[in-house]
C-alpha cells in the first residue's frame, strides 16, 4: 500500500510538472486536494482502551485531521503481543502505529499527528513562544490534573480532603489561564484544549469520590468543557462520565489494578508511611 501511494504521488507530480506551463492555477488546488485524500492511504492503527482519557486525546486529534484509522482495543489485564512489541518500555496504550512504526505517549502522538497532517486544523500556534506556552500547560494538565485525580481516588480521610483541595486548586489555576478566552488556544480549539478535555469523562468520578460539585467549584472549566463538547471530534471521542465511574469502581472492586495505577498507589503508600 505504501509503495502504491508513493507511485501514485510520483505519477501526479509528473503530470503537475509536465502540465504546469499550460494550467498552473488549475493544477495546484487539484494537487493539494488529491494529496490530502491520498494521505489517508497511510495505514494507521490505534492500540487503545475506550475509557482511557489518554486514548481519547489521540481519537480527537485523528478526528480533527479527518483521518481514518483502525481501532484495536486492548485488554489491559492481558496485553496483546503487538502492544508489548510496539511499546516495550511503558507497555501502555495508546500507541499509534503509522505504516508499521509505533509512536507512544499520548502527547507525543498528538504532536506527531499535528506535524505529519499539517494541512488541516492546526493544533499549535505558529509562534515558537506560544507553542512553548501550550506545551507548558499541557504538561501542567498531565502532572497536576491527572496526578491529582489519581491521588483523590487513592486516598482516604484527611489525605483525601487535602487531595480534593489540591485538585480544585489546580482547576482554579487553569481557570485563570483560560481567562475570558473561549478556548485555551484562544478563539479556536487547540493543543491544551485537546489534552485537557478528556478529563471531562472523569468529572463525575471526581464529584463522587470527593463529594464535590464541579459546576460550583470550577464553573469556568465546566462552561469551557461544554464549548469543547460542541465539536463532534470531541463528543464522539469521549467516554460517558457515568460509564467511566462504573468502570473505575469495578476495577478497584476487583482489585485488578494495572501496573500504572499500582505504581502510583505504591508510591503514595511510601509517601504516607514516611
Ligand atoms: N503517559 C501515558 C499514560 C498512558 C496510560 O496511563 N495508559 C493506561 C490506560 S489509561 C495503561 O495503558 N495502563 C496499563 C498499564 O499501565 O499497565 C500517555 O499519556 O499516553
Answer yes or no: is the C-beta of 195 below 6 A from any ligand 1 atom.
no
Mean pLDDT of 32-52: 76
Per-residue pLDDT at 13 exceeds 90: no
- Mean pLDDT for 14-42 is 49
Report how far ligand 1's centroid is from the alpha carbon of 269 (Å).
Answer: 20
The pLDDT of residue 155 is 87
Residue 129 has a pLDDT of 97
pTM of the model: 0.83
For 194-207, the pLDDT digits (tens) are 999 999 999 999 99
Q: What is the mean pLDDT of residues 1-9?
A: 35
- Above pLDDT 70, what percent of the chain? 78
Nearest to 93 by CA among 47, 131, 137: 47
- My answer on whether omega of the bond before 94 falls inside 30° of 0, hence cis, is yes
The preferred substitution site among 55, 104, 109, 260 for testing ligand 1, maximizing ligand atoms within 8 Å of CB, is 260
Q: Which atom of ligand 1 is nearest to the CA of 52?
A: 10
Ligand 1 contact, 149 CB (< 6 A): no
Read off the C-alpha cell for 267: 508510591
Measured from the CB, is residue 93 less than 6 Å from ligand 1?
Answer: yes
CA of 57 to the centre of ligand 1 (A): 12
Mean pLDDT estimate for the chain:
85
* Ligand 1 contact, 54 CB (< 6 A): yes
Contacts of 25 (CB under 8 A, 6+ apart): none
pLDDT(110) > 90: yes
Amino acid at each position: 500500500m505504501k509503495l502504491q501511494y508513493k507511485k501514485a504521488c510520483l505519477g501526479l507530480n509528473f503530470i503537475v510538472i509536465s502540465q504546469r506551463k499550460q494550467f498552473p492555477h488549475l493544477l495546484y488546488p487539484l494537487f493539494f486536494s488529491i494529496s490530502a485524500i491520498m494521505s489517508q492511504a497511510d495505514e494507521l492503527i490505534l492500540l487503545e482502551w475506550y475509557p482511557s482519557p489518554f486514548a481519547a486525546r489521540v481519537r480527537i486529534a485523528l478526528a480533527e485531521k479527518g483521518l481514518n484509522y483502525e481501532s484495536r482495543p486492548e485488554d489491559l489485564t492481558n496485553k496483546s503481543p503487538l502492544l508489548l512489541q510496539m511499546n516495550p518500555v511503558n507497555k501502555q496504550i495508546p500507541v499509534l502505529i503509522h505504516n508499521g512504526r509505533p509512536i507512544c505517549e499520548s502527547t507525543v502522538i498528538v504532536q506527531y499527528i499535528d506535524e505529519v497532517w499539517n494541512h488541516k486544523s492546526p493544533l499549535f500556534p505558529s509562534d515558537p513562544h506560544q507553542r512553548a506556552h501550550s506545551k507548558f500547560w499541557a504538561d501542567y494538565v498531565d502532572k497536576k490534573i491527572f496526578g491529582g485525580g489519581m491521588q483523590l481516588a487513592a486516598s482516604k480521610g484527611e489525605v483525601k480532603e487535602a487531595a480534593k483541595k489540591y485538585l480544585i486548586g489546580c482547576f482554579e489555576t487553569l481557570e485563570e489561564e483560560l481567562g475570558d478566552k473561549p478556548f485555551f488556544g484562544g478563539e479556536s480549539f487547540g493543543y491544551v484544549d485537546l489534552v485537557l478535555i478528556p478529563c471531562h469523562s472523569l468529572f463525575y468520578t471526581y464529584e463522587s469520590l470527593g463529594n464535590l460539585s464541579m459546576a460550583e467549584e470550577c464553573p469556568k472549566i465546566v462552561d469551557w468543557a461544554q464549548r469543547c463538547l460542541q465539536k463532534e471530534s470531541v463528543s464522539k471521542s469521549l467516554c460517558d462520565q457515568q460509564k467511566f465511574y462504573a468502570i473505575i469502581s469495578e476495577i478497584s472492586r476487583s482489585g485488578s489494578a494495572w501496573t500504572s495505577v499500582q505504581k502510583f498507589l505504591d508510591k503514595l503508600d511510601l509517601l504516607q508511611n514516611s
